[in-house]
Amino acid sequence: MDGLILVHKPQNFTSHDVVKNIRKTLKARKVGHFGTLDPLATGLLPVALGKATRLFPLFLDTAKTYKGKIRLGFSTDTYDSEGKPTSKIASKLPKEKIIRAAAKEFKGEITQISPAYSAKKFKGKPSYTLARQNKEIELKHNKVFIYRFYIENYTPPFIDFEATCSSGTYIRSLAHDLGQKLKCGAHLVQLIRTNVGNYSIKHSYTLDEIARSYRKGHAKKMLLPLESLLPELPRVVLKKARALSVQDGCSISSDWVLKIIPGEKIKSKKRDKKKTVFRIFSAEGELLAFAREERENGILHPFLVIKPRERSP
């Protein structure tokens, strides 16, 4: 099977646990996820199968949306409710208008420090393994982009929020940093991911639903095919005689193109200005490759061939 399954990750599962479960359930060899979720978090986890696992780099710039709950009053060493307190409980909490004003200051590009208890590598090892051994860790500073950080409700000491951010953002760090700005401490107590790009949790499946569907022989109905993935990228349809050349990795000149279909609008614009990526299709509607444009002459260069040409032995 080749494609993407939108999984609703349960609490206390790592993202890798979900991958192992899907691999076993669907008896698939190549399985991977697009966007790690902490064990505490639930929600949308896109899981790729077969050739779709090769598309990971193209999902790196995809914005993600979360809903969650932050507790004000004290911070923890993990930046969430599973950690040990690192500050005393604040005797006084800020008013709602101050919290809302502080949240707005996080909008745009910010620098985050990844939590010590995270999968970020330090000297070749996940930092959480070193943190558990009480070893000193040089926490990394990362630039991320916050499109939206909105306070939905405030019932002291709890804040209900929604945030849309770039890939690589730690919502735990966002909660911790908000507490530091408010000078009362804070940590994340609940988190659910609702969107990855244009993919919504509304169209996701639980692990039990996937298992039941597989037993009934309906698992493929849950799979988003390769041709439907990354719809925000322009679609280039080739003339019938040119498909084989692209499958060999040959560059695409304008006279090879039958038509170009613009990509769908996405909810959040990408921060960077990388060369536009195009999805390359055969005249029959099969996804062949992904290509980048050479601005000087308009030639498209395939950098990821999904379906290489089959050659005779």
> What positions carry a catalytic annotation?
38
Residue by residue, DSSP assigns 22-34 as HHHHHT-S-EEES
* Alpha-carbon distance values, 313 to 288, 296, 310 (Å): 22, 39, 9
Q: How far apart are the C-alpha atoms of 230 and 233, rounded to whole Å?
A: 6
Order across the sheet with 277-281: list the strands: 257-261, 235-238, 277-281, 287-294, 299-305
Q: How far apart are the C-alpha atoms of 104 and 163, rounded to whole Å?
A: 11
Q: How far apart are the C-alpha atoms of 198 and 269, rounded to whole Å?
A: 12
Q: How far apart are the C-alpha atoms of 140 and 127, rounded to whole Å?
A: 10
Place of tokens 């089959």: 310
